[in-house]
Structure 1
Amino acid sequence: MPIHDLAVIGGGINGGGIARDAAGRGLKVVLFEKDDLASGTSSASTKLIHGGLRYLEHGELRLVREALAEREVLRTIAPHLVRPLRFVLPHRDGMRPFWKLRLGLMAYDFLAGRGALPRSASVKLAGNPLGAPLKPNYVRGLEYSDCFADDARLVALTVRDAADRGANVFTRTEVVAARREGALWRLTVARGGQRGQVLARALVDAAGPWAGDVLDALKLHPAPPLRLVQGSHIVVPRLYPQERAYVFQIADGRIVFAIPYEADFTLIGTTDRDVSRPAENAQASPEEIAYLCAAASAYFAAPVTPSDVVWAFAGVRALAGDAAGAAQDASRDYALALDAPREAAPLLTILGGKLTTHRRLAEAALDKLAPHLPLMAGSWTGKAALPGGDFPFAEFDTVLRLLRTRFAFLDKRIARRMFLAYGTMAFRILGDARSEAELGPWFGPDLCRREVDHLMDREWAMSADDILWRRTKLGLHIAPADAVALADYMETRDAGVAV
């Protein structure tokens, strides 16, 4: 039986990032995900790559500085996925004073450093198109820069890069038993009613909110303190034409974002609600939906009601530490718990973390394991592009024009969507096609067979939901009959395992 250097449990952003980094360092890596990639928390975020402006209030300067540095790294290695966005923060009487907000944004700019995104500025909202969607009492505010990204696509491309560098990736595969045999782990895995065994020199538990459940189920050491916080979001028809996000201060001390989403919609979130256990299929509660509608309605001139919601989603964030204090005030920093008895195989449990800092978390995780994996090479992920990101962001428009020119028959909207999702890989997916018919059949106006085949062959998609709600967000656009046709096509095609 071959021996892997590293086995990773969890196909979210942290597990994927660790697998990618380790594979690129020359380690023999295997990753197991019991469901689909990014099927939990990693597809249920607010889709932001950001420093965490509100973390400054809690004095988490190191986390903000690290996150802002990572924002720039991710812009460089994934220019098709990570896109700059300006945020408008209306000032609300009775909330944080204007001077305090301005000072906080100046500190944010300073921590980001020179050469980053455009700096913050004061803005008059009265008589300004930026203030047009808002109630007339919001007359001034501030603007600053951060980034937006499709979280589930970031996971899929991170894992794709891990596989391209030699990692073995198994989705719909659960680790059901693990025991130490001296310097090795013996794992028992189950998939589709069949079981197998895997040997590895080190084991990483990156199951996110299920990290403690994994340790319990495998009869390993008790999990360190872990706080589970549900965050819910709603999606409504587009509320305003501006390509800006809005940041709203709420009376309970939280902030809520309203973000342009999928061209035709606005994404509003998030909530913070303590839960005792992670749900396999977390749902936004009616109370959370009402809360987000009320938060948006306090600012937008046109009220937002639950009847406007076309989609709601929720995820459970695993935060390092206990449940003391308000959920929104809990740190988003990560912690790494290493269990490495003398002359025994190590176990590393990942606690907390956020989308933005996943790459640094992976580096820190491998630094922890380095004494146990002495042949491992050094860090490398800070400059290596993710699949499809092999171009400078400054050339985004140029490369997109090349794609539109090469496939002039393709609707410009579809070409842009594919470029945002796949970057330069879009050229390979579309291949030698000379007409839309050669890409078909089509599942509605936006999704063609060639893209579906790519997602099944190269990105581990096995169900219509994998494609419509994680690899893409076309579930917001597709007609029910087309979704059924997609499911039928996938069932009749041999999906196999992505390689």
Structure 2
Amino acid sequence: MTRPELTGAPFDVVVIGAGINGLGIAQDAALRGLRVALLEQEDLCSGVSAWSGRLVHGGLRYLEQYDVRLVRESLQERERLFTLAPHLCHPVPLMIPLFKHNRRPGWMVELGMVAYDALSVGKTPPMHRVLTKGRAAKRFTGISHDGLQGAVVFYDGQLELAERLCVELAVDARTNGAVIATHVRVDAPILADGRVRGVRWTDRLTGETGETHADLVYNVAGPWIDRALAAEGVPVQPRLNGGTKGSHLIVDPFPGAPTDVVYYESRRDGRLVLIIPWMGRYLIGTTDIRFEDDPSTARCDIGEAEYLLGEVNALIPEAHLSLDDVLFTYSGVRPLPYVPDTAESSVPRSHVLHDHADTGIRGLVTVVGGKLTTYRQLAQDAVDDIFRRRERPAPPCPTRRRLLPGAQVADLAALRRSLAARSSLPADVVDRLVRLYGSRAVQVVDLVGADPALAEVVDPRSRLIAAELLFAVDTDLACTLTDVLARRVLVAFQPGHGLESVDRAVQVLGDHLGWDEDRRRREVDGYRTWLQVLAVPDPAGPRSESFGAGATVTTAARSATAAAGARA
């Protein structure tokens, strides 16, 4: 049996889904003394948590929906992340250009910013500033002057490496007793006498099946929440997921590119578009399209790409971006509630704990909605709910002030100097380790101290060293090569996506884990296949109905292959 940790005595709660919300619940529940098992069909942060714009924000546009509570909650949680994970989350300036064509007049934007500042009393970042046309053009030299009236600059947060945040939550949860089982698909809830008694599952790596027992199950599968309940013998449940697809393009720095995050209204149709500096490149996004298919199949299509490129070219006349400039793309399906006949941008972003007792399954709760910024508050609400259902007083929530594992050293500059002094690792390797792992970089350096061969630079472009590969599987819960490269060491998002070094990486991992040649070959093939999620769309491919062919861009015909994401 390959998953004995999932069988045996019942757990207090089973959590389905290892996105940011499921991991937050597992961490909080374990810290409050509950026996929790978390099951995930793929890997940590393998779904929508990785496919956002990687901003930690209060949700300025939610003010338009008069959702003041969500904005206030988001701003509070944003501030907490600056404290709890300063190695991963930091303030960044955002600019909102004010143009004559904007559907939101300048006075409305400024009024919104006053409210935004008022709702974030005690915040770390500076208050907003209003810029004249001249000052806006001086700060953002590439901006179009056509109709420009000025700009507003304010601050939110950026989480460049969302995957690393998820990994640290999982590590903290496991350290405190949670069982984290990845690549285990929940096939159906176990029901008896109208009550949930656990879940049936399949290990997707071995094909083994089994059961994990608990009288509380929290379905936190994001856009897959309905699939998790669609099984034979389960009473018909109401549709809960109404997710929308959001796509991003990744490009290298280009003429006229901003230094701030730029958040602006499309001249064409009033949609909000973002240009986000990210890891030395730029994210351009995002779209908001109803998506009815399997969330795993979400891809950026040519209509979305042409639209986003056209918008950037209109805002920045010297950019001249074309499809040939797109290095890779990604898409995710937002886990929004199902609200038919409602505009995509108006669907609520707040979370709901849906109790299935009224439809014949007591003890089953589905978490609907939520967003990256507010994962901790969502988790607190869910764990408080678990204690209420177990008729036990809830202990105080510890995550309000609990530093993440990589945040145990406040002075990262001093940590860099210390690690450089105690090891023979090059400065750029030490910089990489501290940026990815924060204070946990010490553990990686200790591996090199114990075995100097692990100082080998496996991927020269990213400066990935062999010790990181072992750390990924021994400590950071990775099971496959794709887990390691895409969601632990993150070379998947670096130039070349690690393809030049993939053979050496699988050799290091294979020697350490005892993989035979067939397993090594399958791991490399699996990673190359996974890279299709980053493919640049084919100009002749399908086009979302929401986007016509009117965007003014140049496209070059080429097809997406398994290595389409590798053009960097």
- Is the pair's TM-score, using the shorter chain for normalization, greater than 0.5? yes
Query: Which residue of 2 is the match for residue 93 of structure 1?
Result: 100
- Structure 1 range deviating more: 266-275 or 445-454: 445-454
SS of residue in 1 equivalent to 2:202: strand
Query: Which residue of 2 is the match for residue 489 of structure 1?
Result: 508
- Structure 1 range deviating more: 279-288 or 29-38: 279-288
* Equivalent residues of 1:387, 1:425 under 8 A apart: yes
Describe the shift of the 1:343–1:217 C-alpha distance in structure 2 as closer, same or farther (beyond 3 A).
Answer: closer
* Equivalent residues of 2:140, 2:258 under 8 A apart: no
Write the distance in 2 (CA, Å) between the matches of 1:426 and 1:241: 33
Deviation at 1:284, TM superposition (A): 0.6
SS of residue in 1 equivalent to 2:12: strand
Query: Which residue of 2 is the match for residue 417 of structure 1?
Result: 432
Deviation at 1:256, TM superposition (A): 1.3
AA partner of residue 487 (structure 1): V
The alignment status of 1:3 with 2:10, answered yes or no, reads: yes
Deviation at 1:105, TM superposition (A): 0.8
Q: Indicate which of 4, 8, 30 corresponds to 1:23.
A: 30
Query: Which residue of 1 is the match for residue 398 of structure 2?
Result: 380
SS of residue in 1 equivalent to 2:11: strand
Deviation at 1:405, TM superposition (A): 4.3
Write the distance in 2 (CA, Å) between the matches of 1:404 and 1:135: 45
SS of residue in 2 equivalent to 1:365: helix
Deviation at 1:249, TM superposition (A): 1.1
Query: Which residue of 2 is the match for residue 61 of structure 1?
Result: 68
The alignment status of 1:210 with 2:224, answered yes or no, reads: yes
AA partner of residue 187 (structure 2): V
AA partner of residue 153 (structure 1): R
Deviation at 1:180, TM superposition (A): 2.8
Write the distance in 2 (CA, Å) between the matches of 1:134 and 1:67: 30
Describe the shift of the 1:267–1:403 C-alpha distance in structure 2 as closer, same or farther (beyond 3 A).
Answer: farther
Write the distance in 1 (CA, Å) between the matches of 2:240 and 2:485: 35
SS of residue in 2 equivalent to 1:280: helix
AA partner of residue 309 (structure 1): V
Query: Which residue of 2 is the match for residue 42 of structure 1?
Result: 49
Length, aligned pairs only: 492
Matches within 5 A, 1:78-477: 78-95=85-102, 96-124=104-132, 126=134, 129-137=138-146, 138=148, 140-149=150-159, 150-181=161-192, 185-191=197-203, 192-217=206-231, 219-239=234-254, 243-250=259-266, 251-263=268-280, 265-300=281-316, 301-340=318-357, 346-375=363-392, 377-392=395-410, 395-407=411-423, 409-412=425-428, 414-431=429-446, 433=448, 438-440=454-456, 442-445=458-461, 446-475=463-492, 476-477=494-495
Displaced runs of 4+ in structure 1, greater than 6 A? 341-344
Deviation at 1:321, TM superposition (A): 3.3
Write the distance in 2 (CA, Å) between the matches of 1:245 and 1:317: 21
- Structure 1 range deviating more: 487-496 or 42-51: 487-496
* Equivalent residues of 1:14, 1:358 under 8 A apart: yes
Identity of aligned residues (%): 30
Query: Which residue of 1 is the match for residue 565 of structure 2?
Result: none
* Equivalent residues of 2:38, 2:180 under 8 A apart: yes
- Structure 1 range deviating more: 168-177 or 430-439: 430-439
* Equivalent residues of 1:77, 1:390 under 8 A apart: no
1:345-374 CA-partner distances (Å, limit 9, x unpaired)? 511101011000111111111222222224
Deviation at 1:340, TM superposition (A): 4.1
AA partner of residue 448 (structure 1): I
* Equivalent residues of 2:38, 2:179 under 8 A apart: yes
* Equivalent residues of 1:259, 1:267 under 8 A apart: yes
- Structure 1 range deviating more: 201-210 or 116-125: 116-125
Write the distance in 2 (CA, Å) between the matches of 1:482 and 1:162: 32
Deviation at 1:474, TM superposition (A): 1.8
* Equivalent residues of 2:458, 2:504 under 8 A apart: no
1:160-213 CA-partner distances (Å, limit 9, x unpaired)? 111111000110111223223467613222112111221112101011111011
Write the distance in 1 (CA, Å) between the matches of 2:342 and 2:168: 36
| Structure 2: 5+ residue stretches without partners | 1-7, 516-568
Deviation at 1:74, TM superposition (A): 1.2
Write the distance in 2 (CA, Å) between the matches of 1:371 and 1:237: 50
Deviation at 1:343, TM superposition (A): 12
SS of residue in 1 equivalent to 2:163: helix
* Equivalent residues of 1:34, 1:173 under 8 A apart: yes
Deviation at 1:90, TM superposition (A): 1.3
Write the distance in 2 (CA, Å) between the matches of 1:221 and 1:436: 58
AA partner of residue 317 (structure 1): R
| Structure 1: 5+ residue stretches without partners | none
TM-score for both structures, normalised by structure 1: 0.92
* Equivalent residues of 2:94, 2:153 under 8 A apart: yes
1:213-267 CA-partner distances (Å, limit 9, x unpaired)? 111126255044321200000100023676421112114232111111112x111
Describe the shift of the 1:253–1:344 C-alpha distance in structure 2 as closer, same or farther (beyond 3 A).
Answer: closer
TM-score for both structures, normalised by structure 2: 0.81
* Equivalent residues of 2:473, 2:479 under 8 A apart: yes
Deviation at 1:136, TM superposition (A): 3.5
Write the distance in 2 (CA, Å) between the matches of 1:181 and 1:295: 55
* Equivalent residues of 1:228, 1:278 under 8 A apart: no
1:394-433 CA-partner distances (Å, limit 9, x unpaired)? x344444444444464233x33332222110011111164
Write the distance in 2 (CA, Å) between the matches of 1:350 and 1:447: 37
AA partner of residue 38 (structure 1): C
SS of residue in 1 equivalent to 2:214: strand
AA partner of residue 144 (structure 2): K
* Equivalent residues of 2:132, 2:150 under 8 A apart: yes
